[in-house]
Structure 1
Amino acid sequence: MTGPTHDEAHGGALGSRLNWLRAAVLGANDGIVSTAGLVVGVAGATDSRTALLTAGLAGLLAGSMSMAAGEYVSVSTQRDSERAALAQERRELREQPEAELRELTELLRARGLSQEVARDAARQLTARDALRAHASVELGIDPDALTNPWHAAWASFLAFTVGALLPLLAIVLPPPGLRLAVTVLSVLAALVLTGFSSARLGAARPGRAVLRNTAGGALAMAVTYAAGALLGAAGA
C-alpha cells in the first residue's frame, strides 16, 4: 500500500502547487488590467504626472488590499469547512467504526479494487491511521495540509501588486508624448505572457487564452481612455 499512498499524496501536492501558480498568474493579470484601465482612463483626461501617479497608486493599493481581503475570507471559509468535515469524520469513526470501515471499503472498490483487496486495504489503512485514510479517500483532504488563509491573502496581495506595477510605471516614467504608447504596448505584452502561462498551467492551448486576454485588456483600456477623453474635453 505504500506505493499508491505516496503517488496520491504526490499528485495532490502537485495539484495544489499548480492551483497556487494559476491563482498567482490570474492575480497578476487582474492587477495589470485593472490598473492599466485606470491610468489609461486618467491619461485620456490629463497628462499630469502627479494625477497619473496618484490614480495608479490608489488603484494598486485598493486592488491589492481588496484581493487579499477577499482571498482571506474565501480561504478561511474553506478551511472552516475542512475542519468541520474532519470533526464529523472523527465523530463517525468513534461512534460507528464498523460502518466507516465498510464505507472505506466501498470507496476503494469504486476506484477499481476487487471486494477482497478493497476490504484488506481498508483494514490496513484504518489500522495505520483511520482519520487520514477517510480524509484522503472520502473527503480529498490532507489533515496536515489544510488551506492557509494568510498564505492565500499574501499571495494575492503580492501577485496583484506585481501586475499593477507594470502599467503604473509605464504611464509615469516615459515622457508625456510616449506614455500612452509605452503603456499600451507593455500591458499587451504582459497580457500575452499571463494568458500563455495560465493556459499552459491548465494544460490548454495557449492561442485562444492569449487572444481572450489581450482582447479583454485592449477593450478595457479603449473604453476607459474614451471615457477619460470625453470627460477631459468636457472640462470635468
Structure 2
Amino acid sequence: MKKASFEDLTRAHDPAVIRKRLQQAPKPQNISDAVLGGIDGCVTTFAVVSAAVGAGFPPSVALILGFANLIADGFSMAVSTYESNKAKQEYAQSLRDMEEEHIDIIPEGEREEIRQIFANKGFKDDVLEKIVSIICEDRKLWVDTMLIEEHGIHHQADPNPFGAAWATFVAFILIGTMPLLPFLATSLPMNQQFAISTVLAAIMFFLIGMLKSLLFDQPYIFSGIRTLLNGGTAAALAFFTGYLLREVFGVAGI
C-alpha cells in the first residue's frame, strides 16, 4: 500500500474516523487474482508460441495452439480460483457451525478455552475473568474469538468466489492474448512475428510486476525485472524443449 503522510495518518486516526472505519465491513480485493491470472496467461501463451517456434511449426500452428490454450487454461484457472475461494468460505463456515454447536452443548468447556487462551497471553486473576465474561456475553464475539485464536481464521472480507474467478479469467485472456497478436500479421515472416511476440511478452511481464509493486509500495523496477525473468525462464524452457524434441524425433515442421 502507498505510504501516507503524517497529516493523512493524523486525520485517519481521529476517533470519529476510526469509529466509522471499523463499523464498515472489510472490502474484498481481487488484485492478487488478477496478477496471478495475467502472469499465467502470458506465460501459458508465450510458452506455447515458443515451443511451436522451437519445434519448427508454421505460424498458423503457433496461433491455433496459443488461442486453444488461452481459452482452455483461462477457463481452468478461473474455475480453480472459484473453487479455492469457495472452499475457504465453506471451511470457515464449518468451523463457525462447530463452535456454535460446542457452545450450545458444553458452554463451560468453551469458556475454559477462552480463559486459557487469554491466560497464555499474560492476563490473570480479575482481569482475566473480566475478559472471559465480556467475550462470553456476546455469542458472536465468542465464536469469532474462537475462530481467530483456536483455528487461525481471521476476520477478513468474505472472499467473493465469482469476483475472484472473473478477475483471473479477464486478466488471463487480456494479457495472454498479447504474445499471439503478431502471428495474426500473416504478411510478416515467422522470425519477425516471434521477435515482436517476445517483445510484447517481455513488456507484459515487466508491467505486471511493476503494477503489483506500485499497488503495494514496493521497488517497482526490481519487481518488474523479477517477473520478467520468471516469465522469460518459462518461455525459454518451452522453446528449448520444442527444439530438442524436434531434433530427437526429426520433425521438420508441418
Q: Which category of TM-score, normalised to the shorter sequence, fits these structures?
A: 0.7 to 0.9
Gaps of 5+ in 2: 1-15
Equivalent AA in structure 2 for residue 101 of structure 1: R
Q: Aligned partners of 2:221 and 2:193: how far apart in 1? A: 28
Matches of residues 20-169 of structure 1 in structure 2 within 5 Å?
A: 20-44=30-54, 45-48=56-59, 50-108=60-118, 116-117=126-127, 119-128=129-138, 129=140, 130-139=142-151, 140-142=153-155, 146-169=158-181
Deviations 1:118-175 (A, max 9, x none): 54344334333333443355443449x5434333333322232222122122432485
Preserved contact between residue 105 and residue 115 of structure 1 (Cα < 8 Å):
no
TM-score by length of 2: 0.70
Equivalent AA in structure 1 for residue 208 of structure 2: T
Match of residue 188 from structure 2: 176
Preserved contact between residue 67 and residue 157 of structure 1 (Cα < 8 Å):
yes
Equivalent of 2:236, from 200, 222, 230?
222
Describe the shift of the 1:157–1:111 C-alpha distance in structure 2 as closer, same or farther (beyond 3 A). Answer: farther
Which structure features the higher share of helix residues? 1
Q: Aligned partners of 2:20 and 2:116: how far apart in 1? A: 21
Between the aligned residues of both structures, percent identity stands at 22
Q: Rg bigger for which structure?
A: 2
Deviations 1:66-122 (A, max 9, x none): 212322333333333212211111011112223323433444565676764554344
Q: How many corresponding residue pairs?
A: 229
Equivalent AA in structure 2 for residue 190 of structure 1: M
Equivalent AA in structure 2 for residue 26 of structure 1: L
Q: Identify the range of structure 1 (145-154 vs 20-29) with the bigger mean alpha-carbon deviation.
A: 145-154
Deviations 1:5-37 (A, max 9, x none): 987787x937x53xx312321221011111111
Q: Does 1:210 align with 2:227?
A: no
CA RMSD of aligned residues (A): 3.7
Q: Does 1:235 align with 2:252?
A: yes
TM-score by length of 1: 0.75
Query: What secondary structure does 1:234 align onto?
Result: coil
